[in-house]
Structure 1
Amino acid sequence: MSEQAKMNDAMQSVPLPGMSDGKKGFLFALSAYLLWGVLPFYLKTVAHIPALEVVAHRIVWSVPIAGILLWWLGLFGDLKVALTTPRMLAMATLTASLITVNWGTYVWAIGSGHAIDTALGYYINPLVNVVLGAVFLGERLSKPQMVAVALAACAVLLLTIYSGGLPWISLVLAFSFGFYGFFRKTLPIGPTQGFMLEVLILSIPSLALIGWTIIQGTSHFMQGNTHDIALLLFAGPATAVPLILYAFGAKLLRYTTIGLMQYIAPTIVFLSAIFVFGEPFSHIQFIAFALIWSALAIYTWSMLHEARKARPTTAA
């Protein structure tokens, strides 16, 4: 049985009586984006722990959760094939490295009071994906997409001039996640097995880092208090659960629906940064965000327009 069929069977077994697949998918995806939106509140509680140590524990404690899911879906056979295929291992190492850069930057940025920059990065990310498709896949940009990309570039230029340097946090997050998605599509393995393969690869340096902190006496897991130990153990579920919910939701929802829902998380982070974390928000930043929001509105409109044009063709 294929991964798609096994995941469909698993989702059908979720106790949500009287609910259609579309509604189930929406609930799964919404839960994932809401969890990603409130993730900075957790990261604020571990801000006193070095970002690399937090990322290492995110990886290590994700392994058992991903393993349980693979066992439930009966997909361990696919993982064994991936582990014995050099090309697949090489590609998974590349995607794992990119997601590590993304996670490490995000954890550090939230803990250092740059939540607004992280929100900007994930707002920019859909437009980065469009650019990557045009540059590496030869996909032709529509006029609305070109306008949207130009507006985003103006926003980045404005922030660069205002701050005296590139908004590197936003750009690193946007491009690392963009390249991660780009190369992840070329990995001939399902999303569930792919996630397990990535965290297995990353668990080797992660365990080495955790071991080094223990030897140096700086570990917040072994030498820390009970509160720190509990927080680091929670890093696994905080990482894996939203990804699993998203994978389930993406299987049941249309691409355009997922495309619209992806703005939920950065919007929650943006509002939390201003009204909860109290990060400064200048008028220049407001103008830059207004440009980004305008770009996303144009991009979303073009995406919906293309989807409407495609429906009659599909129906025919």
Structure 2
Amino acid sequence: MKQGVLYGIIAYLAWGLLPVYWKLFQSVGAWEILAHRIVWSLVFVLIIIIITKRWTKLWAAAPGLKMKGALLVCSLLISANWLLYIWAVNSNQVMETSLGYYMNPLISVLLGVVFLKEKLRMGQWVALGMAALGVLYITVQYGQMPWIALSLALSFAFYGLAKKVVNLEAMIGLVWETVFVAPIALIYMIVIEANGTGTALNLEGWKLAMLMLAGVGTAMPLYWFAQATKRLPLSTLGFIQYLSPTIQLLSAIFLFGEKFTMTHLVSFSLIWGALVVFTISSMRKKAVSVPMNSEVVIKKQA
């Protein structure tokens, strides 16, 4: 349990601090950063596969066209999420990325209802309604939909849904997800360098090294997250996951100087409230189910 909590905290701390990391490369375009992230992620995870001698497991993980198609969908969704996130951070929209990742768990639940026919308690429906009000309020006040937040939340929620169908180990899944897009990313890097429009190679040496470490920064939080999910109940991991958008929000305000207005306060408060209501409702559901299950076990033993 303690190890699981530690793995979870480290994973979400790493994801929460990503805006600080991407800010190092503001002179580099989002597409170029994404290309480097994909290529170096593939290099890093392939090194791990080689060291751990898991080639057989890697090939066996995607036996047919149906599985490869599902992995391709995962690849496109996470690539789109990465691109938008990097662009938003380097366009001084960190606060809206935070809003998106606060919304993500609730949208994931809604997708579960729509696609997996999962059933919700009344409290959980109330939570979804509160989150919708939060989005509606900020939309009305600013006169435009928070499309960055919604796009991040939707792309990651659909990615989670696709991952649920695929159900692969984190490192194995990341290899396949990067394999599909790495050739495109590598060609893009070569073309922009040949045209003289590439900027990454003009970075200072230490920054270029940091950009190459994007593969480590992508794979290791996934590994830590996978270790946390093995050791912790989802309710505990659910609490820890809010660490990441909270760090992003605090970074936006205190590090990057983004304004936190009354509109933000009302919208965020509705979504925070929705998360609290949803968590309490989910925990009550589990608390009710435990005695019932225990009673069945006792009767069977009798």
| TM-score exceeds 0.5 | yes
- How much has 1:296 moved relative to structure 2? 0.5
Q: Which AA in structure 2 matches 1:105?
A: L
The 5-angstrom pairing of residues 259-274 of structure 1 reads: 259-274=238-253
- How much has 1:255 moved relative to structure 2? 1.2
Q: Which AA in structure 1 matches 2:224?
A: L
Task: Name the stretch that deviates more: 42-51 or 81-90.
Answer: 81-90
Give the one of 244, 247, 262 matched to 2:223: 244
Superposed CA deviations along residues 100-137 of structure 1, whole A, max 9, x for unmatched, are: 11111110111111111000000001110111111112
- How much has 1:224 moved relative to structure 2? 4.0
* Alignment-derived partner of residue 59 in structure 1: 38
- Distance across 2 between alignment mates of 1:76 and 1:23: 32
1:140 maps to 2:119: yes
- Distance across 1 between alignment mates of 2:151 and 2:216: 25
* Alignment-derived partner of residue 12 in structure 1: none
The 5-angstrom pairing of residues 161-310 of structure 1 reads: 161-310=140-289
The 1:130/1:78 distance shift into structure 2, 3 A limit, reads same
1:157 maps to 2:136: yes
Unaligned segments of structure 1, at least 5 residues? 1-21
Superposed CA deviations along residues 177-225 of structure 1, whole A, max 9, x for unmatched, are: 0000001111153332111111111211111111111111122343444
* Alignment-derived partner of residue 98 in structure 2: 119
Contact 2:124-2:282 within 8 A present in 1 as well:
no
- Distance across 2 between alignment mates of 1:313 and 1:62: 46
TM value normalised by structure 1: 0.89
- Distance across 1 between alignment mates of 2:30 and 2:69: 26
- Distance across 2 between alignment mates of 1:73 and 1:258: 28
3-state DSSP of counterpart to 1:127: helix
- Distance across 2 between alignment mates of 1:134 and 1:220: 44
Q: Which AA in structure 2 matches 1:217?
A: G
- How much has 1:25 moved relative to structure 2? 1.5
Task: Name the stretch that deviates more: 213-222 or 97-106.
Answer: 213-222
The 1:190/1:156 distance shift into structure 2, 3 A limit, reads same
